[in-house]
Structure 1
Amino acid sequence: MYPFVDMQGVDPTSRTVDPSEFREFTGGGSRFSVGDTLMARITPCLENGKIARFRSDDAGPVGHGSTEFIVIRGREGVTDTDFAYYLTRWEEVRGYAVSQMTGTSGRQRVPTSALSHLEVPVPPLPEQRAIANILGTLDDKIELNRRMCQTLEGIARAIFQSWFVDFGPVQAKAAGAKRFRGMPQTVFDTLPAAFTDSPLGPIPTGWTVRPIGEVVDVVGGGTPSTEEPAYWEGGTHAFCTPKDMAGLTAPVLLKTERCLTDAGVARVSSGQLPPGTVLLSSRAPIGYLAIAEIPVSVNQGIIAMRCPREIPNLYVLLWAQANMDRIEANANGSTFQEISKRNFRSIPMLVPDRRCLAAFGGAVEAMYRRIVAAQKQNRSLAAIRDALLPKLVSGEIRIKDAERIVGRCA
């Protein structure tokens, strides 16, 4: 049994990919060693940037994976393996690979032999290592931020689980406790010490269960005609689709691929939604979640939740994460599953005491703001990395100049 990497495990925003599982190697598929670059060869994975280096901390130095990977490593005495990864990410290489795809529509792939015809700049080995180090410094900071965000998200989910799923503070008070770690004393003192039956089972006395459509404003959107330039050309208003949410590494929406004009926004029933709106993809697939940090319009594949002041949007976000099975159970459809706004609005939601909700919002808001700040910084770091990459490879910018730029960012 050897580490196996599935195409789904490759995140276009991450430099590395870990094994998905262990599988017996039967002789088919791709084979690679730790540090090798795995480049997707099939559409749309390559166009979406699925290129990453194999990492296997404790699973062994070799692995295998999908037949849809092209494996790239440095050639001894000619190219550095770290440099080879960034060379593969260079648009000149990736774009060339895309242009060499063959096969029927929707099943196109790059022949492995195609890359053998591409000529690329090959700086001296010391310079290759310096280029990889410069770009790697930026990726190291991006990865550090990613891990911090994952940790903060995990803490927020744990607080939600403790307070609103396991009812830890109320359970503790019912058992005679005088305080609960992490909860303000003034809030703990106002908690009930008993439970009441509800459609969701026993809940703290005084808390309620209501359809989510009665708790938050649930709205949808639509797509203005793409054949009408007046709706799109020169647009500056963010327009979100599930595709924009698919690549998020944290539940924070900062930018969208496409923008609408004023005329385009006027064609969307919900118009521009305010920052702080909670977004849920309602099809293809169900379950992407984010909080909009920008005013945004949405298409028909998104359910948007505008939260009143007394209901923290982070509570709604984490409620949706914790209740995804229930949300998906209310979906229907023959071609693909979709949850309608009508079915979504009827899903029961626990509504805790306002003081408890306010305390929860206060506990997790600072974490969320740190996540937002890290996501913004990562966008800037990635932009600098992607701008430096072609200039370093082509020799347009000198190593020392690039090192000064990176030094100001690290």
Structure 2
Amino acid sequence: MSEWQEVTLDSVAIINPTESLRKGQISKKIAMDALQPFTKKPASFSLEEFNGGMKFRNGDKIVARITPCLENGKTAYIDLLDENEVSFGSTEYIVLRERNGISDKQFLYYFSISPIFRDVAILSMTGCSGRQRVQTDVVEKHLFDIPPLPEQKAITAMLSSIDDKIDLLHRQNQTLEAMAGVLFRQRFVEDVQEAWDAKPLNSIANFLNGLACQKIPPKNALDRLPVLKIRELSSGISDSSDWATSDIKSQYIVENGDVIFAWPASLMVKVWDGGKCVLNQHLFKVTSDEFPKWFYLGWCRYHLKEFIAISASHATTMGHIKRGDLDATMVVIPSDSEINAMSEKMVPLLDKQIANAKQIKLLEKLRDTLLPKLMSGEVRLDYD
């Protein structure tokens, strides 16, 4: 097998390649908010007038260069554009493009999310606290050990196969959630029976608000758990997550499969899959001793748009809903036999989503274990 070479980054990657977009041209914009931590593909894009920003095309990598986005792992591989289409995004991106015959486009993505690259980029950051930026000129001239192109492709094949499986499971879960939503609306919204009772949402489930976790710090490194805040609900537990003591009442412990409702600002309802943690204030843990999980989860999701509108109407710096809004939100309660019949359809859909989420976490752990070993040469792959 060929030996790795010590080279500067700009000798294997084109840094911030030149592209052209007319000012005012309607183009796809990939905003910083569309990048999820250590997630290969951007979550979304919008069509907007181009008035400035970094430009890129399919195959390029966009790396956040500002704190805390870089530390949080906001890096993406672009593959959602049409052929020869140019997109744009934040001025706080570094764009990486492969050099033909020297580097593999997907290898550069995995390289850019590895500690080999990230540690150098983070150490190069300068500026005032909270607004530090990567010094691109320092990073592009830094020496890195890079494998030959055939080994790059072998590394890419292994890591991308894992990411492809993760992406497939995410898409399966989106489909399963959509199917559950359709079944729920058809039966309990569009086909309501006159004999069914109507009750407030908070009468079918308990909405437990979390703790002020900054007041319960861990007493030692063993008896502690990560804190689940709105950020973690959206992006998962990370190295920057806070910790709290685990010596608390059990109802404030969040486990995989629990329904979590974020009630201020960016309202969302999710089935948690990020491991054991402590429920922070501004989040509800939703449970019920009377009704199945799919039932109260379905009603929370059905009314989410309404709650978002209520939150936006509140004249506060951080929109939110109140417990009174839960009192005022009505749901219908079918007969026990109807709930049992629907459970036969809904429970398998929810169980499959939870199982897929568990598989995703295992695959992510495998990928994250292999990544630094492959990028450092600790683990070598055979290739033709």
- Alpha carbons of structure 1 residues 277 and 132: separation in structure 2 relative to 1, 3 Å: closer
Task: Calculate the TM-score normalised by the size of structure 2.
Answer: 0.82
- Alpha carbons of structure 1 residues 395 and 283: separation in structure 2 relative to 1, 3 Å: same
3-state secondary structure, aligned to 1:52: strand
Q: How many residues align?
A: 354
Q: Does 1:214 align with 2:203?
A: yes
Amino acid at match of 2:55: R
User: How far 1:18 moved relative to its partner?
Assistant: 6.7
Q: Does 1:371 align with 2:353?
A: yes
Amino acid at match of 1:151: T
Query: Relative CO higher for 1 or 2, CA cutoff 8 Å, sep ≥ 6?
Result: 2
1:383 counterpart (361, 365, 369): 365
Asked whether the 8 Å contact 2:110–2:156 carries over to 1, the reply is: yes
Q: Does 1:105 align with 2:86?
A: no
- Alpha carbons of structure 1 residues 392 and 277: separation in structure 2 relative to 1, 3 Å: closer
What is residue 406 of structure 1 aligned with on the other side? none
TM-superposition CA deviations, 1:312-360 (whole Å, max 9, x none):
2122122112211332344446221222345434432222232222222
1:30 counterpart (54, 60, 63): 54
Asked whether the 8 Å contact 1:3–1:63 carries over to 2, the reply is: yes
What is residue 170 of structure 2 aligned with on the other side? 146
Q: Note the residue ranges of structure 2 that are not aligned, 5 or more in a row.
A: 1-25
**Alignment partners' CA distance in 2, 1:283 and 1:156:** 25
Asked whether the 8 Å contact 2:35–2:75 carries over to 1, the reply is: yes
**Alignment partners' CA distance in 1, 2:72 and 2:244:** 23
What is residue 300 of structure 2 aligned with on the other side? 320
Asked whether the 8 Å contact 1:220–1:341 carries over to 2, the reply is: no
Amino acid at match of 2:335: D
**Alignment partners' CA distance in 2, 1:329 and 1:390:** 44
2:112 counterpart (88, 106, 126): 88
CA RMSD of aligned residues (A): 2.8
**Alignment partners' CA distance in 1, 2:347 and 2:380:** 43
2:221 counterpart (214, 220, 233): 233
3-state secondary structure, aligned to 2:199: strand
What is residue 349 of structure 1 aligned with on the other side? 331
User: How far 1:108 moved relative to its partner?
Assistant: 2.6
What is residue 76 of structure 2 aligned with on the other side? 52
**Alignment partners' CA distance in 2, 1:59 and 1:153:** 32
**Alignment partners' CA distance in 2, 1:15 and 1:275:** 24
Amino acid at match of 1:220: N
**Alignment partners' CA distance in 1, 2:344 and 2:254:** 24
Q: Does 1:242 align with 2:266?
A: no
- Alpha carbons of structure 1 residues 369 and 159: separation in structure 2 relative to 1, 3 Å: same
Q: Does 1:136 align with 2:124?
A: no
- Alpha carbons of structure 1 residues 325 and 103: separation in structure 2 relative to 1, 3 Å: same
What is residue 264 of structure 2 aligned with on the other side? 283
Amino acid at match of 1:306: T
Moved more, 72-81 or 285-294: 285-294
**Alignment partners' CA distance in 1, 2:274 and 2:103:** 42
